[in-house]
Structure 1
């Protein structure tokens, strides 16, 4: 029998996390009953169509405890006499001694509010991201005795200390992650290796249907019709947009191109200033965050998709960027770097172009090759589209998650009956 799942998210809805929204909708369509627990309210001004299709109720926890003190205090005092309170305090104190931050205190308070209010009679907890959402989830599980599971992704894995990942993986019933590098790292940190699974997000191929048109034969020789280079992603360090701008500035002067960036992010102002310094600002359009249908239109109009993924100074990195899967689904040739899960989608010279990270000259050489050779672009783009449609259909991920939930619930029921 399926259980009511409370899904804990860092923020909802978020334009940059279409892969999560797609999974939530897929689980709903598979018959799961969800309530979404968001640790912060949305900041994006737009929504993707997929967000409007998800029927689950959204409950917002206090993002900062001082903003809703009465709500937090009610939860605290109501929790003191309950069996899970002192075990939770013991775990929280052990964690706080290793991570003395306001963030740790917020997760404790948010977990108390969640456990006290306990929306819609939840029977299971599932965290999206193994860092802060899993902290709230794990604490709420201790408080209530309700088991939990987790979907880990990229930043959350690589910016979490090993001790915390290890302990969370030991408490969760199972965890999935979306790249082989993340999967192997997590398995190395736990004795519960068989409870860690590789699960590619995949793509909703109904929403990203086959491109019926054709990408252009522009070759960069016509100043009136420049090659259209596109990138989609937040302006943050791990996306490597400074590297991409430097690569664009290295392109030969006889090539005519234009670059469009879609996405928000705190780093936009610095990137625009860098483009001015490099003398290429006049060839760049900064579109900001756009809804999914607008992004899809740009994939179909573009000639090349570029994303210079890198490992950030704090260890943050992409998993397998969903935008690479989306662009590939539209026969758009992609050039990226051999970071994390990118090589699990793109094979250099077979269905895309893959270069080392932090290498503007190598990236420029790849861009120049793609610009000058439209036939190569078409060949690689067609091969990328075939790979996506054969191996990255999100229905496979939903089937895998369905099986994992149902098998675990059967085990839980058997344990209770034998207890």
Structure 2
């Protein structure tokens, strides 16, 4: 691709350990021949990086995270945008949005969009936002100011916690939007988005990074105190992941059953969850590993016997889409136990390639955990079926081909 096709990708933060699927997609698009420029609304807070981040060649630019931290930069951007007719279109749109959402966050997004428009990357001919909430707000305002078309990838929290009026406005102004679960796709379509503007695109995995596990899965069955069944979960310690439910389920397991639980990830709730494990009397069976890079996470999948994630819908509507960690675990022939919300059933079918229970139900979760702990044959059968499905239906190269085709179709239409 030439510089005429360079895509300016707006991200909430970069790099982020919890958003491997985005980094994987960015690298895939580069390998497919697209030129990218990354623009992040905030700087990284993670202390580690995944190897994939070091392979991405695109330059990264950071907008002011808070306008008052860089007032000269923001004011200079607004002044430089004054001659642009698009600034007034953007201001009119911003004013309408501000009446419905009179928050500092709304003001911040317009200020960031003005900085992006004023400091526009050389050769940028397209704007693509990852997440349809705040990054898409910046992308939409910047599109109005610059007159450059924009598109969007919508995921999970951004869909379910955004008001309908805002989603409808963005869906109407994007050239197209892709989303990664059928539940999200159906929701966006119900909001009245034109058929041609919303596409379902599973992220999938870069299977070259998740080669088949060549080892032998254990026959542990919870009867030997010296060989506990290893239960793993990977994810941020936030409410929608349901780690409190998982801990309560673990505490309900028979006292004579031998198991260990390992958690990989960080998050604001780690301290509270550690306290809960103490209250439940299971703290000595839990290892909190913290955030790890992708290589160490892969090793965790291969050492484990069971993967568990008790996804839930929170009071504000937040939820996972299809957690990438379930796809990763499945790629290693590791049986996964999760809940029947959002996109999880689009991967896991209860009793066929995983074990699926209702959310918010520690007793039901404990029952399937006990079954999986005691029955190594069941674990192996379900894990093998899950791996087969991932390797045939969740290869990220299909998503990359779809995205490349969408971009190229737009560019060809622009030339005609």
Scaled to the shorter chain, the TM-score interval is over 0.9
Q: 1:286 to 1:191 in 2, by over 3 A?
A: closer
Distance in 2 (alpha carbons) for counterparts of 1:181 and 1:125? 25
Unaligned runs of 5+ in 1: 415-419
Secondary structure at the residue paired with 1:357? coil
Q: Is the 8 A contact 1:304 1:334 kept in 2?
A: yes
Q: Which residue pairs with 2:348 in the alignment?
A: 346
Note the alpha carbon deviations across 1:356-405, whole angstroms, 9 max, x for none.
00000000001000000000000000000000000000000000001111
Q: Which residue pairs with 1:147 in the alignment?
A: 149
Q: Which residue pairs with 2:308 in the alignment?
A: 306
- Which among 208, 225, 244 is matched to residue 223 of structure 1? 225
Distance in 1 (alpha carbons) for counterparts of 2:272 and 2:106? 31
Q: Which residue pairs with 2:333 in the alignment?
A: 331
Structure 1 residue 190, shift from structure 2 partner: 2.3
Q: Does residue 232 of the first structure (1) align with residue 234 of the second (2)?
A: yes
Q: Which residue pairs with 2:51 in the alignment?
A: 49
Distance in 2 (alpha carbons) for counterparts of 1:306 and 1:101? 38
Secondary structure at the residue paired with 1:336? strand
Q: How does 1:186-205 map to 2 (within 5 A)?
A: 186-205=188-207
Secondary structure at the residue paired with 1:10? strand
Distance in 1 (alpha carbons) for counterparts of 2:286 and 2:264? 11
Q: Which residue pairs with 2:362 in the alignment?
A: 360
Q: Does residue 39 of the first structure (1) align with residue 21 of the second (2)?
A: no
Note the alpha carbon deviations across 1:22-47, whole angstroms, 9 max, x for none.
00000000000000000000000000
Secondary structure at the residue paired with 2:13? coil
Q: Is the 8 A contact 1:35 1:120 kept in 2?
A: no
Structure 1 residue 80, shift from structure 2 partner: 1.8
Note the alpha carbon deviations across 1:2-34, whole angstroms, 9 max, x for none.
611000000000000000000000000000000
Q: Does residue 101 of the first structure (1) align with residue 103 of the second (2)?
A: yes
Secondary structure at the residue paired with 2:85? coil
Secondary structure at the residue paired with 1:285? strand
Distance in 2 (alpha carbons) for counterparts of 1:126 and 1:283? 44
Structure 1 residue 413, shift from structure 2 partner: 2.1
Secondary structure at the residue paired with 1:197? strand
Distance in 2 (alpha carbons) for counterparts of 1:206 and 1:319? 23
Note the alpha carbon deviations across 1:274-324, whole angstroms, 9 max, x for none.
000000001000001000000000100000000000001111000000000
Q: Which residue pairs with 2:270 in the alignment?
A: 268
Structure 1 residue 191, shift from structure 2 partner: 4.0
Q: How does 1:12-411 map to 2 (within 5 A)?
A: 12-411=14-413
Distance in 2 (alpha carbons) for counterparts of 1:120 and 1:316? 37
TM-score (norm 2): 0.99
Distance in 2 (alpha carbons) for counterparts of 1:342 and 1:396? 20
Distance in 2 (alpha carbons) for counterparts of 1:219 and 1:79? 66
Structure 1 residue 409, shift from structure 2 partner: 1.4
Report the RMSD for the aligned CA atoms in angstroms: 0.7
Aligned residues: 414
Runs of 4+ in 1 over 2 A off after TM superposition: none
